[in-house]
Structures are given as structure tokens and as C-alpha cells.
């Protein structure tokens, strides 16, 4: 009973937080997307004062939650919760799979019992040697029929339970996919990148066996300022698609935040990474982008790329910083070029 009451209390609290999130979104005209809802939900929870202060300041100054601000706040405050959620989803998935196996086994046994009972019922009804035996036979037959009916009902309940568990597993798969992917580009997100990088380093990654490429769209703010955020989103989607196509399975690409992407490549030589980086840079300049709804010409979109190879026993933060510094050097070199962390020359 206590556990039931606690569960009810938790549900009621979560409902209140959800209503609070929806109220904030309606009041300030905040777009109803997963990132905004997560931030407004955390705002309604009211535990992270730093997040609340930043949202309040943005609402006061802008009257709503701007997309680029929401992206930054999500990366800073919400994604730190991703790892525990990921672990919880793993546990729930294991539980769901175990329950599926147990329920399937019980359902199979129930069908076997029904068959056996029906066979015994037929044999008893065949006895006709005396009136009392006939009476007992009738009673047993009635009892067996009840057992069979009960088994049928139980089998139906098990089938319903199995259906519900299948639905739960499907929902868990969908939730995991959403938590691991960026909603705009459908690429893996920052949280997935952080976990993948951490796992690779913990597994004893050897020096120079892992390459990190940081990619940033050049002059992206100009696109947003001139054509608006909707057009900016289209440019991000277009660049993401081109980068993934050019990558051609040689690594894994993630949206790092805003107009920035990161790529992890394992067991490629420096020459291979060099050729890949050049191909990635060239992938976005071959075409000119035009906004379909307004027919406005955005023009060619270029990217800058910073590349670093992993140094043995290097921390994740240090590795990322070296790639980020190389990206900054590419920007300083005039953009639309590739710079390696250990060799400040551009291509």
C-alpha cells in the first residue's frame, strides 16, 4: 500500500510539472518541440536555479525562448541527465525482455494443461459401469470444464499482458532513439557523442588510432540574420546530409550543437583522414542553396574543419580542446579549410 501511495504521489507531482511546462510554453509562445518541452519541464520542477535564471532572463529580454538559446541551455543543463536515463532504459529493456520470455513460457504451459484436461475429461465420460461412477464422472467433468474455462481466461490475460509488454518495449526503443538523436538533423546528438568518446577512451584507445574532426558552418550567423531561423535550420539539415554522404561510412557523425558537428573515425591513417577531411569540406560548396518558399538565394555554404588524433592517456576534454583549437585556427586562416592540431597549416 505504501509503495502504491508513493507511486501515486510521484505521478501527481510529474503531472503538475508537466502542466507547468505547458503553461510556460503557451504563455510565451514557445514552439512545442522536445528540446523546449524538456527545458520548460525542468523550469517547472524548479530545482536548478541557474537554469531558471537564464530562462527568466531570456523570456524578459526576448519575450520567448529563442532556438539558439534553447539549444545552448539544453546542451548545458538537460544533457547531463542523459546518461542516467540511458542506463534506466537499458534496465527497463532487460526487464521487458525477461517478462516476455516468462509470459510466453507460462502461456505455453497453460495451453498444455488445457489439452491434458480435455483428454482426461473424455476418458472419464466413457466410464458407464455404475450409477455412482456416472455421478462422479459428471462432477469431475463439470470441475474440469471450470478449470479449462479458467485456463482460457488466464491465457487471454497472459496474451493481453504480453501485448502490453511488447508495446512497452516499442516505446522504450522509441524513447532511446529520441534521447540519442538530434531532432533537426536526425544525426546522433552531443550526449551520444560524449558517451561514445568516453567508452572509446576507457577501452584503452591507442595513440593515433582515433581521429576527431570538428566541423563548423562558416558565417552561419549571417544566414540566420538575413534569412531567418527557419532558413538557418534548412542549411543545417542540408550540410548534415552532405557531410554524412561524404563520410561514406568511414566514421560516425554527431551534431555537437548549433551549426557545429563532430566526426569520430577509428583506425584510419593520417593520409586517409586528410583525404576524408578534404572531401567533407568540398561536400558543401558544390551547390548553391535556395530557399524554396521565398526563392531567395543563400549562395554557397562552406565549412571549416579542425582535426586531432588521440594521444595515449589523454583526457576526453584535452582531446576535444585540441580539435576545437584546430577548428579555431581554420577560422583564423580564412575559413573553408582544414587544419590539423599538430600542424597549423590549412588545406
List, by residue number, the catalytic residues.
259
82: Cβ contacts below 8 Å, ≥ 6 apart: 179, 191, 195
The answer to whether 34 and 79 are in contact (CB under 8 A) is no
The secondary structure of residue 80, as a DSSP letter, is G
The secondary structure of residue 206, as a DSSP letter, is P
- Helix extents (H) in the chain: 2-27, 34-45, 49-62, 67-73, 82-125, 131-180, 190-202, 220-227, 229-247, 270-282, 316-332
Sole residue written with cell 527557419 = 230
**Can you spell out the DSSP letters for 306-320?**
EEEEPPTT--HHHHH
Q: Which residues pair with 340 in a beta bridge?
A: 307, 343
The secondary structure of residue 277, as a DSSP letter, is H
Buried b (16+ CB within 10 A) or exposed e, 199-214: ebbeeebeeeebbbbb
CA 266 to each of CA 79, 277, 307: distance values in angstroms, whole numbers, following the listed order? 25, 14, 13
Task: Using CB atoms within 10 Å of the CB of residue 86, give its burial: 0 to 12 exposed, 13 to 18 middle, 19+ buried.
Answer: middle
**CA count, 13 A, side-chain hemisphere, 246:** 20
Residues making up the chain, counted from first to last: 347
Amino acid at each position: 500500500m505504501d509503495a502504491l501511495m508513493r507511486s501515486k504521489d510521484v505521478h501527481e507531482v510529474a503531472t503538475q510539472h508537466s502542466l507547468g511546462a505547458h503553461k510556460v510554453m503557451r504563455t510565451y509562445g514557445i514552439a512545442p518541440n522536445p528540446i523546449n518541452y524538456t527545458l520548460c519541464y525542468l523550469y517547472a520542477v524548479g530545482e536548478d536555479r541557474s537554469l531558471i535564471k537564464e530562462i527568466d532572463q531570456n523570456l524578459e529580454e526576448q519575450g520567448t525562448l529563442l532556438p539558439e538559446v534553447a539549444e545552448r541551455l539544453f546542451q548545458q543543463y538537460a544533457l547531463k541527465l542523459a546518461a542516467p536515463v540511458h542506463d534506466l532504459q537499458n534496465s527497463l529493456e532487460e526487464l521487458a525482455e525477461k517478462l516476455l520470455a516468462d509470459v510466453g513460457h507460462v502461456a505455453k504451459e497453460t495451453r498444455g494443461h488445457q489439452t491434458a484436461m480435455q483428454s482426461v475429461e473424455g476418458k472419464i465420460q466413457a466410464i458407464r459401469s455404475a450409477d455412482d461412477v456416472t455421478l462422479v464422472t459428471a462432477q469431475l467433468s463439470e470441475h474440469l470444464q471450470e478449470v479449462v474455462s479458467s485456463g482460457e481466461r488466464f491465457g487471454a490475460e497472459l496474451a493481453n499482458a504480453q501485448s502490453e509488454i511488447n508495446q512497452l518495449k516499442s516505446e522504450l526503443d522509441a524513447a532511446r532513439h529520441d534521447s540519442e538523436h538530434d531532432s533537426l538533423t536526425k544525426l546522433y546528438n552531443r550526449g551520444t557523442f560524449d558517451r561514445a568518446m568516453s567508452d572509446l577512451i576507457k577501452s584503452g584507445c591507442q595513440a593515433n588510432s582515433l581521429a576527431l574532426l570538428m566541423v563548423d558552418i562558416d558565417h552561419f550567423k549571417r544566414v540566420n540574420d538575413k534569412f531567418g531561423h527557419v532558413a538557418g535550420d534548412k542549411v543545417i539539415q542540408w550540410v548534415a546530409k552532405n557531410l554524412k554522404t561524404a563520410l561514406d561510412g568511414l566514421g560516425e557523425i554527431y551534431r555537437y550543437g548549433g551549426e557545429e558537428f563532430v566526426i569520430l573515425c577509428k583506425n584510419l591513417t593520417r593520409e586517409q583522414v586528410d583525404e576524408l577531411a578534404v572531401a567533407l569540406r568540398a561536400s558543401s560548396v558544390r551547390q548553391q542553396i535556395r530557399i524554396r518558399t521565398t526563392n531567395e538565394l543563400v549562395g554557397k555554404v562552406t565549412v571549416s574543419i579542425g582535426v586531432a588524433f588521440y594521444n595515449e592517456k589523454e583526457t576526453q576534454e584535452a582531446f576535444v580542446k585540441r580539435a576545437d583549437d584546430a577548428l579555431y585556427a581554420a577560422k583564423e586562416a580564412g575559413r573553408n579549410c582544414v587544419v590539423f592540431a599538430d600542424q597549423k597549416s590549412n588545406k
